[in-house]
Structure 1
Amino acid sequence: MSALFRRTKKNPADRMVTLVGKPGCHLCDDARAVVREVCAQTGASWEERDITQDEELHRAYWEQIPVVLIDNEQHTFWRVDPVRLRDALGS
């Protein structure tokens, strides 16, 4: 297979998971617990962004929160499946 078409698997420790949510959101609380656990297991970094503090995020995701991004690409929304997230991180 050509090197151009070969997909390089990233090390989970080199990945950034972003949880987009807002205060008082019970689904965001559930998502946070899953993201925190999976990132601790895989070594991936994670951060949380509040849509009430970011107009661009609010426009993009207000109907989908919580939203999980991996390396700034949308991975999922509403419910976070730990197995799917772990797989997406390459672990």
Structure 2
Amino acid sequence: MQVELYTRNGCHLCDDALDILRSYGLDPEITDIDTKPELLASYNKCVPVVVIDGKVRFRGRIEPALLERLLANRD
């Protein structure tokens, strides 16, 4: 399972999202959207964004129940 976390400096929700992902044993690739113009244009007002296997799964906050379902359904 490939997990990416789109974030930015000073974002407390991003810090919370990282903590949640790590609490489930995930080690996401972290990308600061302010360094990528294409991500900044798409996600400026909705970080954190969690992308799992190339699909955006969460914006703003992680829903633990949905994350648990996604993890249970992985091969």
TM-score normalised over the length of structure 1: 0.72
2:47 aligned partner, one-letter code: I
2:5 aligns to what? 19
Structure showing greater radius of gyration is 1
SS at match of 2:67: helix
1:72 aligns to what? 54
Separation in 1, partners of 2:2, 2:23 = 14
Separation in 2, partners of 1:62, 1:24 = 13
2:70 aligns to what? 88
Structural RMSD (CA): 1.5
Q: Give 1:1-91 correspondences, 5 Å limit.
A: 15-38=1-24, 40=25, 44-89=26-71, 90=73
Q: Give the count of matched residue pairs.
A: 73
SS at match of 1:76: strand
Separation in 1, partners of 2:41, 2:18 = 21
* Cα distance, 1:36 vs structure 2: 1.2
SS at match of 2:20: helix
> For structure 2, which runs of at least 5 residues remain unmatched after alignment?
none
Separation in 1, partners of 2:14, 2:27 = 18
TM-score normalised over the length of structure 2: 0.86
